[in-house]
Amino acid sequence: MNIKTLFVLATFCMWAGACKQNAITGRSQLQLLPESELQSMAKTQYQSFLTENKIVNTTVSKDAEMVKRVGTRISKAITEYYTKENKGSILEGYQWEFNLVDSKEVNAWCMPGGKVVVYTGILPVTQNEAALAVVMGHEIAHAIAQHGNERMSQEMLAQGLGTVGSVLTSGNATVNNIFNTVYAPGAQVGVLLPNSRKQELEADHFGLIFAAMAGYNPNEAVAFWQRMAQASSGQKPPEFLSTHPSDETRIQKVKQYAEEAMKYYTPIK
């Protein structure tokens, strides 16, 4: 994003009150769409995605069962924690779904409202349940931190939407197109398009806390990201890394985040 765009963005935020403080990260974000609208669009796109891809059945696959188990534990832990903190509204409208898709893609994603997909291609890299929790926590953190809303709002502003009186809902064709561009749920790799460095670090940070709340050792994140870096060495990076940069700086940050997340960690009995 260039300086001119940033200036326009800042001016718009002050003028229209379109920037809101995120209840999770504490950071001010541009949000032109109600989260309920994004959840509605996500629900439709998610169901369409499931009908067009091979879903691994939990009754015949321990891996699919593991994905659902990890997701359920994380979502339950998050809900309990934020309810106690009087921030239950953060998850308003969430209807969690966790599915494993048969694909060689090294990838995973979560759409607004808790619609999660993990690809079988990432399991050889996660190698264990705790590392899978690191991945799923990261993707769930993207959704709860409303990074998609922020990305869509930036794109809408760039296209001249968001002026006073504009109807910014899922019934707006341009808004739908931007949603499909940002999330691309029907593409070969359904995933939020490349995030900013700030968003990625936020997802790393809070994703580890979420995994720890669910009873998974956050220290597993370091070994996981090292394996991800190794998986991309000397070849085209896996799709997961194309939007999730892996480097020494990130691993150092993850070590710091893991240390903080240990405060929330109680091993699963």
Q: What integer is the mean pLDDT of 160-183?
A: 61
Beta 97-101 vs 115-119: how paired, if at all?
A: parallel
The model carries a pTM of 0.83
pLDDT digits (tens, 9 = 90+) for 75-126: 999 999 999 999 999 999 999 999 999 999 989 999 999 999 999 999 999 9
End-to-end Cα spacing for the chain? 47
18, 43, 121, 79 alpha-carbon torsion, rounded to 10°: 70
Instruction: Give the separation between CA 181 and CA 190, rounded to whole angstroms.
Output: 11
Answer positive or negative: Cα dihedral of 51, 71, 91, 253: negative
Catalytic residue among 97, 139, 200, 220: 139
For residue 62, what are the CA distances in angstroms to 57, 71, 100, 123, 247? 9, 14, 11, 12, 32
pLDDT digits (tens, 9 = 90+) for 218-234: 999 999 999 988 887 65
pLDDT at 164 over 60: no
pLDDT at 155 over 60: yes
Residue 139: active-site member: yes
H helix intervals, 30-163: 35-52, 62-84, 123-126, 129-144, 147-158
| pLDDT computed for residue 234 by the predictor | 58
* Mean pLDDT for all residues in the chain: 82
Least confident span in 24-28, 158-162, 197-201, 248-252: 158-162
* CA neighbor of 164 nearest in space, from 42, 68, 254, 32: 32
| pLDDT computed for residue 167 by the predictor | 44
* CA neighbor of 112 nearest in space, from 41, 180, 61, 167: 41
In sequence order, the 6+-apart residues with CB closer than 8 A to the CB of 196 are none
Name the band, by pLDDT with cuts 50, 70 and 90, for residue 269: confident
| pLDDT computed for residue 216 by the predictor | 98
| pLDDT computed for residue 171 by the predictor | 59
pLDDT digits (tens, 9 = 90+) for 232-256: 765 555 545 544 554 677 889 999 9
| pLDDT computed for residue 131 by the predictor | 98
Name the band, by pLDDT with cuts 50, 70 and 90, for residue 5: low
| pLDDT computed for residue 249 by the predictor | 79
